[in-house]
Amino acid sequence: MSNPRPKLVMIGNGMAGMRAVEEILSRDADAFDISVYGAEPAVNYNRIMLSPVLAGEKRFDEIILNDRDWYDRNGVTLHAGVRVATIDRNAKCVVPADGQPEAYDRLIIATGSEPFVIPVPGRDLDGVRTFRDMDDVNAMLEATNRYRNAVVIGGGLLGLEAASGLRQRGMTVTVVHLMDVLMERQLDEAAGFLLKRELEGRGITVLTGANTKELLGNGRVGAVRLEDGREIPAELVVMAAGIRPSTALARDAGLEVERGIVVDDHLRTSDPHISAVGECVQHRGQTYGLVAPLFEMGKVLADQLTGHADTVYEGSVANTKLKVSGVDVFSLGDFAGGGDTEDIVFRDAARGVYKRVVLQDDRVRGAVLYGDTADGAWYVQLLKDGTDISSYRDTLIFGRACTEGRPRDPRAAVADLADEAEICGCNGVCKGEIVSAIAAKGLSSVQEVRTHTKASSSCGSCTGLVEQLLSLTLGGDYAPAEVQSMCGCTGHGHDDVRRLIVAKGLTSIPEVMQELEWTTATGCPSCRPALNYYLLCANPGTYRDDAQSRFINERAHANIQKNGTYSVVPRMWGGLTNAAELRAIADVVDKFAIPTVKVTGGQRIDLLGVRKEDLPAVWADLSQAGLVSGHAYGKAVRTVKTCVGQEWCRFGTQRSMDMGVQIEKLCWGSWTPHKVKMAVSGCPRNCAEATIKDFGVVAVDSGWELHVGGNGGITVRVTDLLCKVETQEEVLEYCGAFLQLYREHARYLERTAPWVERVGLEFVKARIVEDADSRRALFTRFLESQEHAQTDPWRQRAEDDVDAHEFTPLAVVA
Amino acid sequence: MITWIPVGHVDDIPRLGARVVKSPGGDIAVFRTEGDEIFALYDRCPHQGGPLSQGIVHGKAVACPLHNWTIDLTTGGVVGPDEGCTRVVPVTVTDGRIAIALDVEAEATGTDG
C-alpha cells in the first residue's frame, strides 16, 4: 500500500459506536485504520440487556457483543478503560487522560449518555447508584446479598426494569415516581395503570406523584424522605430519573451543542471532520435513548464514510418494549392524542389486554399495547410506510393476522382441541389435565409439565404440543423451542402432525391439510407420502390409501430404474426357495426378455429391466408359482435373512431358518416409516449378520437374543441388545411389538437406528421388555394392522385389474 | 403439419396423477391437477431423462421420480435452483375429452423429437 490508510478514531466503545464500526467494516474492511477509546474497562456489551443480568436471567458473558478477539480479528485497536480528555481540532488529534495523543483524519464521537442524578441532599452517600453500566449492576447485586430494602427513583423504562430485577433478587422494592403515570413518555394512563397493578402484584410498591426530597444516612444511605414527609427505608437507592446526552467533551472542543451534540442529516457535527452517533447527538431537535435509532444512525454514518454520501438520516420513530419478563408493554410514536387524531381502543379485561392505536388522516401515528404486543412490529411498519389503513380500519386493532387474513396462529389447531383429546400417547395424558396443571400449579416449563403430569416424559414426541399448550396458557410468558417443520407447506413438525391426526381423529390428507392449515393446496412430494403413512398407521383398515401420495415405486409395486424400467423382487421366505419357484423365475426371464438377474443382499432374486407395461403379466406368471411381492420397493418390511442354523449347520443352536420364515410370515406387507430389514442367526457366529439389522435375532443355547436398531447403510450402526427370550412365540411377540412401536413413534423416513438413538433404548425397553401389558397391546395392534395389510399387491394387479391405468398408456399415436 | 389428436377423457387420469401417450417422437406425459386442469409435456426430465409421468404431482408441478427435480407443468421449466426445460405439448379439453397437438409428420420422421 503506497499511502497509509486514513485514521478513524472512535470515542466510545458502546453499542452505537461499535455498531457504526461494524457497519463500516462490513462495507469496506480496509477503508480505515481504526482506533476505539472506551472509558469502561469492559469490552463492548449489550447495554440494554443489563436488566436481565440484574434479574439473574442472563450472565454477563452472554451479553458481550464484541470480545477482545473480535477487535484483534478485525484489526481494530481498542483502548479499553482509557478516557479521552480533550479533542484538539486544530491538530486533529485526541488526547487521552493518561497517554499519547492520537491523530485522526475522521473522528466519531459516540460518548452516549449519563444518568441524571437528581440534585438532592445525600446523593453522594454509599449505596446510591445509577443504572447504566456493569459496575452499577455489580454494586446492586452486591447489595442484594447484604441488604433488604431498595428504592428506585424513577418509574420509567430503566427504573422499572431495575425494580423488577431487584425484586426478583429478593429485595423489598419501592418505586418512587414523580409523575402520575408510570413510563409516562411511553404509556398512556390506562396502560400505565395496568402496568402499576401488575408490578404491585409482584410485590413492588409503586408511589406515583411522589417527589424525593432527600436521602438520609450516615456513610451509607438508610432511607429516602419524600416531600410529603414519608420516609422509606432503603439501603440501596437506584437513581433512574432519566439520561442526559454526554456532551462535555464536544462542548469543550467548541462543537455546537444544545441538549445533545448537534448533527445534520449526514450525522456531521459543526466540524466537518467530526461526526457523532448515538445517545449523545441531537438531530432535528430530537435526542434518542433507545437502541433502534442508534443502529439506524450507525448505518447512515457508515454509508457516509465509505463513499455513499447520498444516504441521509431523517430521524427515527421511537418504539419501546419493556424488558420485564412476563410484562408485555409496547409503545410507538405519538400517542398523546387530541387535535385531529383518532383513537381505536380494544380492551379485554379478563386477559389484561389493552391496545390503543392512534390515527391521523387514516395513518398510524402511534400505538400503546399492553398484555398482547404481538402486532407491535406491524404497527411500526404501517407508521414508517405511512400506509393508508382506511380499507381495513375495522380490523386494524385486532392485528395483522385478522386484517390480512393470514394463516391463523399455528397454535390454533391445538387451541381447538377438546379437553379430552389425548396429547401424550405414552402416558395417556389429555389436554385438559395438562392445561389445568399449568394453571393450578403455576407450571412454566416442559420439564415441570413432565414432572407433574407425565406428559412428554417418555418418547418426547408430544413435546411440541406441550410447548404449545404452555404458550397458549401462559401467553407471552412462554417462548416455545423451535420445531423443525415437516416441510415448507406447514409450520408443524412431524411429531405434532402425528399426534394431531390421532387427537383430532383425522382420516384423509385433505382433512389434515385443512385442519392443520397447510399453506399449499395439495402439499408437496415431502409431506404427502408422510401424511399418507401417518393416516394409514392411525386408521388401519379404514384409511383409503392415496396412491397419488405415494412415491412411484410404492404406487407401481416395483422399483423404478435409471432408464425408466422397473425391477421385480419376489419374496423368498427366510431366504428359502425351491425348484418350482426358480423354474417360474427362469421362465419369466425368458418370456419377457429380462436383461439382468441378480442375487440381492437380502437373500432373494432381483429381475432388472422389466418394462412397466409388462409388470402385471410378469406378476401373473410369478403368482402361478406362489410367489408374492417382496416389497423391495417400499417403506415396508423387506427381508428376513437367515443362516441355515440347526437344521443343517454343525454349530447351530436353534432352527434359524424356521424362525426367519415365521417372522417373515408374521410381518410381511406391513408399511413402516422407512424400510425394515431383519435377520435370524442360528448361533453367535452370526452368519446372517443380524446385528446390523433393524430387528436381529441371534440364537444361543438357552433361547434367542433380540437386537434392535442396527443399520448397514452409509452409517453402520450395530444393534442394541433389547433382551433375551426363550421361545419362538416370544420372539414373534417381541418382534411384532417392536415393529408396532416403531410404526407408531418414528418420523416418516426415519430408520430404526436413528429412531432408537433419538428416543433412547430405555424407552424401547420400558415398553417392550419391562411392561408385558404394553408389549401385548402393541402386538395386538400390530396384528390388527396386519389383517388389512397382508394382501399380495401383485396378485391384485395381475388378476383383479387393480390400478390398471397405472400400467397401460392413455393412448398410442401411430 | 400440426394435428389435434384425441387421447382420452379427463377421468382416465387420476387426480394429481398422469398417464402416458405413446407417440413416434417419444412418450408424452398428460397430467391432471387437483382442479382437473390438464397439461402435457414430453415425458423426459431435462436432468437425466427421467419419466415425469411417474412423479408426484403437486399444485401445478411434478417431481421427477429419479432425482426429485421439480418441473412446472405450465411451462415445462425447472422450478428452483436447477435449470432446464421440458417441451410443452399443447393440449385442449372439450367436454372432458382431451386432445393434444402434434406435428405428425415431424413426429413420424423423428425430425423434431
Residue A119 included in any domain? no
Nearest chain A Cα to B10, which residue?
A: A810
Which tens digit of pLDDT belongs to each residue from A636-669?
999 999 999 999 999 999 999 999 999 999 999 9
Identify the pLDDT of residue A456: 82
Burial class (CB in 10 A: 0-12, 13-18, 19+), A804: exposed
Which tens digit of pLDDT belongs to each residue from A329-350?
888 887 665 567 788 888 776 6
What's the whole-number mean pLDDT along residues A176-205? Answer: 86
Q: Does B93 touch chain A (CB under 8 A)?
A: no
Quick check: A409 pLDDT over 70? no
Q: Which residues pair with A704 in a beta bridge?
A: A699, A725
DSSP 8-state secondary structure symbol assigned to residue A713 = S
Compute the half-sphere exposure of residue A311: CA atoms within 13 Å on the CB side of its CA.
Answer: 13
How many folded domains does chain A comprise? 6
At a CB cut-off of 8 Å and minimum separation 6, what does A692 contact?
A710, A711, A712, A716, A717, A718, A719
Identify the pLDDT of residue B101: 93
Three-class SS of residue A726? coil
Residues A171, A159, single domain; the answer is: yes
Domain that holds residue A163: 128-241
Residue A354 included in any domain? yes
Q: Does B14 touch chain A (CB under 8 A)?
A: yes
The three-point CA angle A198-A201-A202 to 5° equals 95
Distances (CA, A) of A496 to A164, A415, A433, A512, A612: 36, 13, 18, 12, 38
Domain CATH for A358: 3.30.390.30
Residue A744 included in any domain? yes
Query: pLDDT band for position A407 (50/70/90)?
Result: very low
Strand-pair category, A93-96 with A102-103: antiparallel
A164 and A129 Cβ atoms separated by less than 8 Å: no
Compute the half-sphere exposure of residue A763: CA atoms within 13 Å on the CB side of its CA.
Answer: 19
Last residue of a domain, one of A404, A437, A457: A404
Residues A624, A727, single domain; the answer is: no
d(CA A695, CA A738): 8
Closest C-alpha among B86, B17, B25, B24 to residue B53: B17
Q: Does A521 touch chain B (CB under 8 A)?
A: yes
A355 and A345 Cβ atoms separated by less than 8 Å: yes
Q: Which residues pair with B57 in a beta bridge?
A: B62
Identify the pLDDT of residue B113: 34
B81 and B70 Cβ atoms separated by less than 8 Å: no
Compute the half-sphere exposure of residue A571: CA atoms within 13 Å on the CB side of its CA.
Answer: 29
Sign of the C-alpha dihedral, residues A767, A768, A770, A775?
Answer: positive
Identify the pLDDT of residue A331: 84
Which of the given ranges, A286-300, A302-316, A502-516, A762-776, has the highest pLDDT on average? A762-776
Residue A313 included in any domain? no
Residue A809 included in any domain? no
Query: Identity (one letter) of the amino acid at A98?
Result: D
Give me the percent of chain A exceeding a pLDDT of 90.
Answer: 60
ipTM: 0.90
Closest C-alpha among A494, A540, A489 to residue A510: A489
Backbone dihedral angles phi then psi of residue A222, each to the nearest 5 degrees: -125, -20
Quick check: A701 pLDDT over 70? yes
d(CA A558, CA A545): 17
Identify the pLDDT of residue A314: 87
Quick check: A759 pLDDT over 80? yes
Where do we find the cell 406362489?
A626
CB contact under 8 A, A810 and B20: yes
Q: How many residues does chain A have?
A: 814
CB contact under 8 A, B65 and A552: yes
d(CA A301, CA A206): 41
What's the whole-number mean pLDDT along residues A485-505? Answer: 89
Where do we find the cell 452505537?
A16
What's the whole-number mean pLDDT along residues A778-793? Answer: 96
Which residues of chain B are within 8 Å of residue A523 when distances are taken between CB atoms?
58
d(CA A754, CA A748): 12
Q: Which residues pair with A231 in a beta bridge?
A: A225
At a CB cut-off of 8 Å and minimum separation 6, what does A502 contact?
A422, A425, A538
Residue in B16, B21, B30 nearest the CB of A548: B16
Query: Identity (one letter) of the amino acid at A522?
Result: T
What's the whole-number mean pLDDT along residues A132-136? Answer: 90
Quick check: B1 pLDDT over 90? no
Three-class SS of residue A142? helix
Which residues of chain B are within 8 Å of residue A551 when distances are taken between CB atoms?
56, 65
Nearest chain B Cα to A529, which residue?
A: B56
Which residues of chain A are within 8 Å of residue B12 when distances are taken between CB atoms?
805, 810
Interface test with B, best of A489, A513, A522 (most B CBs within 10 A): A522
Identify the pLDDT of residue A65: 85
d(CA A322, CA A608): 68
A333 and A281 Cβ atoms separated by less than 8 Å: no
Architecture of the domain spanning B12-91: 3-layer Sandwich (2.102)
Task: Name the CA radius of gyration of chain A, rounded.
Answer: 36
Q: Does A557 touch chain B (CB under 8 A)?
A: no
DSSP 8-state secondary structure symbol assigned to residue A116 = P
Residues A784, A645, single domain; the answer is: yes
Three-class SS of residue A249? helix
The grid coordinates listed for A560 are: 423404478
Q: What is the 3-state secondary structure (H, E, C) of A466-526?
A: HHHHHHHHHHHHCCCCCCCCCECCECCCHHHHHHHHHHHCCCCHHHHHHHCCCCCCCCCCC
The separation between the first and the last C-alpha atoms of chain A, rounded to the nearest angstrom, is 75
Residues A91, A191, single domain; the answer is: no
Which residues of chain B are within 8 Å of residue A528 when distances are taken between CB atoms?
56, 58
Identify the pLDDT of residue A410: 61
d(CA A81, CA A793): 79
Q: Does B79 touch chain A (CB under 8 A)?
A: no
Which tens digit of pLDDT belongs to each residue from A523-578?
899 999 999 999 999 999 899 999 999 999 999 999 999 999 999 999 999 999 99
Residue A317 included in any domain? no
Residue A752 included in any domain? yes
Average pLDDT, chain A: 90
Which residues of chain B are within 8 Å of residue A522 when distances are taken between CB atoms?
16, 33-34, 57-59
Residues A250, A338, single domain; the answer is: no
What's the whole-number mean pLDDT along residues A424-434? Answer: 83
Residues A644, A778, single domain; the answer is: yes
Last residue of a domain, one of A186, A209, A241: A241
Backbone dihedral angles phi then psi of residue A71, each to the nearest 5 degrees: -60, -45
Closest C-alpha among A661, A670, A686 to residue A574: A661
Distances (CA, A) of A645 to A19, A574, A679, A691: 73, 12, 12, 16
Q: A509: distance to nearest CA of chain B, Å?
A: 13
Which of the given ranges, A168-177, A387-396, B75-84, has the highest pLDDT on average? A168-177
The three-point CA angle A700-A706-A709 to 5° equals 140
Domain CATH for A563: 3.90.480.10
Residues A419, A542, single domain; the answer is: yes
Closest C-alpha among A294, A312, A211, A314 to residue A245: A294
Residues A253, A105, single domain; the answer is: yes
A304 and A346 Cβ atoms separated by less than 8 Å: no
Three-class SS of residue A655? coil
The grid coordinates listed for A612 are: 412397466
The grid coordinates listed for A14 are: 458502546
Q: How many residues does chain B have?
A: 113
Three-class SS of residue A105? coil
Closest C-alpha among A24, A43, A42 to residue A34: A24
Identify the pLDDT of residue A480: 66
d(CA A445, CA A470): 7
Last residue of a domain, one of A549, A564, A594: A549
Quick check: A408 pLDDT over 70? no
A415 and A472 Cβ atoms separated by less than 8 Å: yes
Quick check: A200 pLDDT over 80? yes
**b/e sequence B74-86, b meaning 16+ C-beta within 10 Å:** eebbbeeeeeeeb
Three-class SS of residue A32? coil
Residues A668, A779, single domain; the answer is: yes
Q: Does A804 touch chain B (CB under 8 A)?
A: no
d(CA A629, CA A633): 9
Residues A93, A148, single domain; the answer is: no
Residues A653, A773, single domain; the answer is: yes
Q: A410: distance to nearest CA of chain B, Å?
A: 23
For chain A, the farthest-separated pair of C-alpha atoms sits apart, in whole angstroms, at 110
Strand-pair category, B56-58 with B61-63: antiparallel
CB contact under 8 A, A564 and B20: no
Residues A648, A560, single domain; the answer is: no
